[in-house]
């Protein structure tokens, strides 16, 4: 199950832009959270760390969007590891 562009998507693959800086330059951040019984453990801390990490690299992660994605994914199972990955997006070196 994936969260992409504001919605849940079944499966494990998506089209990926080969010019995304996350792929070409590892220009992104990620966080892994535990979800139990539909709830993300320490959700606020995970979101805050994701937002702060992106800010340290000079781009932004909307906290509300990250929180919404994590909670939507958590609702799909009893025990999950939720990896949230955000890249700077496409662009030149």
Q: What percent of the chain has pLDDT over 70?
A: 100
- Strand pairing class (28-36; 79-87): antiparallel
Tokens representing 10 are: 């079944």
* Domain spans of the chain, in order of start: 39-85
- All residues at 6 or more sequence positions from 28 whose CB lies less than 8 Å from its CB, including other chains: 21, 22, 57, 85, 86, 87, 88
| pLDDT at residue 66 is higher than 90 | yes
Residue of 85 and 4 predicted with greater confidence = 85
Rounded CA gap, 59 and 56, in Å?
8
- More reliable by pLDDT, 49 or 11: 49
Query: Mean of the per-residue pLDDT values for the chain?
Result: 93
Reduced to 3 states (helix: H, G, I; strand: E, B; else coil), residue 76 is: coil
11-48 pLDDT, tens digit each: 888 888 889 999 899 999 999 999 999 999 999 999 99
For residue 39, the cross-strand partners are: 36
Q: For the residues 34-63, what does the mean pLDDT come to? A: 97
């Amino acid at each position: 199950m994936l969260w992409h562009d504001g919605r849940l998507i079944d499966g494990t693959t998506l089209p990926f832009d080969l010019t995304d800086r996350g792929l070409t330059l590892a220009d992104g951040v990620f966080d892994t959270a535990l979800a139990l019984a539909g709830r993300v453990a320490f959700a606020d801390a995970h979101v805050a760390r994701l937002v702060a990490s992106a800010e340290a690299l000079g781009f932004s992660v909307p906290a509300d969007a990250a929180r919404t994605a994590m909670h939507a994914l958590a609702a799909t199972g009893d025990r999950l590891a939720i990896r949230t990955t955000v890249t700077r997006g496409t662009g030149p070196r």
